[in-house]
C-alpha cells in the first residue's frame, strides 16, 4: 500500500524524545527514511534502532543544533546515502522559564541558539539539497507561546514568535524552488521537557482553560507534521498551524 511519505528522506531535530520522537516515528510509519538528530547521541541511536525494529527506516545522528555544521553534516550524509533530501523538522530547543530578572547571558544565548539560530542553520543546509530533489517541506515547531504573553517566559515567547516570522520569510524566499516552509504551534504537551518545568496545578489550570478539555499528546503534533510534510498540504506555505485544543483562542 502506498504511504504518504514513501521515498522521502527526512531529518528531525530533537528526535530522541518527546514531540520529535513521535514525529520521527510517524514519518517512518508513513514510509519516509528518517534521520533522528539529538544532542544526546545515545538516545538518538536508540530511537533510530527502535524505529528500525518496528520495520521503519531510520538513522541516528548526534549533534548540537546551535551549530551550523550539525545540519550541513547530517543533511550531506542523508543526501549522499539516499540520493535525495525532502523534509526538515526544526524541533529541538533548550528551555528554562523564570522571572525576567533571573535571565542570565548563558540562558539567553542557549535558548536563542537552540530555538532560533538552529532554524536558520537548518534552512540554510536543507534548502540546496531540497532544491536538488525538486522541492521539499520545512516544518518549524514553534509554540502557542509565540502568539501569547506568558509570565516567566520572556525569552521563550520571543524565540517562538521569531520562529513564526522566520517561517513566513523563508516561505516567500524559497517558494520558487518548491520548498514549503510552515510552522506548528503546539499547546501544552506533557513531554519529558515539559514535566521538569510544569507542576500539576499549572497543568490542571491549562486543562480547565482549554475548550477541548485536555492537554495535547505527542501524536497530535506528529499528525500535523505528517500533513505538512506530505503532498496533502502542497498549496500551504508560510502558515502557522495552532494545535492546541483551542486554548490560544480562549480568552476566559
Ligand X SMILES: NC(=O)c1ccc[n+]([C@@H]2O[C@H](COP(=O)([O-])OP(=O)(O)OC[C@H]3O[C@@H](n4cnc5c(N)ncnc54)[C@H](O)[C@@H]3O)[C@@H](O)[C@H]2O)c1
**Smallest gap, in angstroms, from Cβ of residue 6 to ligand X?**
26
Residue 222 near residue 22 (C-beta atoms within 8 A) = yes
Binding ligand X (rule: CB under 6 A), the pick from 16, 51, 127, 164 is 16
The residue whose grid cell reads 517566559 is 153
**Smallest gap, in angstroms, from Cβ of residue 104 to ligand X?**
17
Is position 72 an interface residue for ligand X (rule: CB under 6 A)? no
Binding mask 39-68 for ligand X (x = CB under 6 A): xx-----------------------xxx--
What end-to-end distance do the CA atoms of the chain give, in Å? 46
Closest CA to 92 of 47, 50, 36: 36
Answer yes or no: 97 catalytic.
no
Dihedral (Cα; 197, 201, 203, 209), 10-degree rounding: -130
Binding ligand X (rule: CB under 6 A), the pick from 88, 92, 171, 226 is 92
Residue of 25, 156, 229, 245 marked active site: 156
Spatial distance between the Cα atoms of 215 and 222, rounded to a whole number of angstroms: 15
> Which DSSP helix (H) or strand (E) runs through 64?
none
Binding mask 171-210 for ligand X (x = CB under 6 A): ---------------x-xx-xxxx----------------
Please choose, out of 1-9, 91-99, 120-128, 230-238, the segment that lies near ligand X by the rule CB under 6 A. Answer: 91-99
Rounded to 5 degrees, what angle do the CA atoms 222, 167, 244 make?
A: 40
Residues forming the site for ligand X (CB under 6 A)? 13-14, 16-20, 38-40, 64-66, 91-94, 114, 141, 143, 186, 188-189, 191-194
Amino acid at each position: 500500500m502506498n504511504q504518504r511519505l514513501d521515498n522521502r528522506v527526512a531529518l528531525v531535530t530533537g528526535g530522541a524524545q518527546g514531540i520529535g520522537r513521535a514525529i520521527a516515528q510517524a514519518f517512518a510509519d508513513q514510509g519516509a527514511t528518517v534521520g533522528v538528530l539529538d544532542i544526546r547521541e545515545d538516545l538518538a541511536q536508540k530511537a533510530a534502532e527502535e524505529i528500525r525494529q518496528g520495520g521503519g527506516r531510520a538513522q541516528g545522528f548526534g549533534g548540537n543544533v546551535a551549530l551550523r555544521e550539525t545540519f550541513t553534516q547530517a543533511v550531506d550524509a542523508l543526501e549522499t546515502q539516499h540520493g535525495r533530501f525532502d523534509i526538515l523538522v526544526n524541533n529541538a530547543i533548550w528551555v528554562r522559564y523564570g522571572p525576567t530578572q533571573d535571565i542570565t547571558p548563558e540562558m539567553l544565548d542557549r535558548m536563542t541558539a537552540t530555538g532560533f539560530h538552529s532554524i536558520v542553520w537548518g534552512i540554510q543546509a536543507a534548502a540546496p539539497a531540497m532544491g536538488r530533489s525538486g522541492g521539499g517541506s520545512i516544518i518549524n515547531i514553534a509554540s502557542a507561546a509565540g502568539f501569547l504573553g506568558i509570565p516567566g517566559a520572556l525569552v521563550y515567547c520571543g524565540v517562538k514568535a521569531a520562529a513564526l516570522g522566520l517561517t513566513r520569510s523563508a516561505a516567500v524566499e524559497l517558494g520558487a524552488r518548491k520548498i514549503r516552509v510552515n510552522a506548528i504551534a503546539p499547546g501544552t504537551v506533557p513531554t519529558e521537557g515539559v514535566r521538569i518545568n510544569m507542576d500539576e496545578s499549572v497543568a490542571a489550570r491549562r486543562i480547565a482553560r482549554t475548550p477541548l478539555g485536555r492537554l495535547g499528546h505527542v501524536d497530535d503534533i506528529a499528525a500535523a507534521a505528517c500533513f505538512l510534510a506530505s503532498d496533502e498540504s502542497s498549496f500551504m506555505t508560510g502558515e502557522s498551524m495552532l494545535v492546541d485544543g483551542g486554548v490560544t483562542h480562549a480568552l476566559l
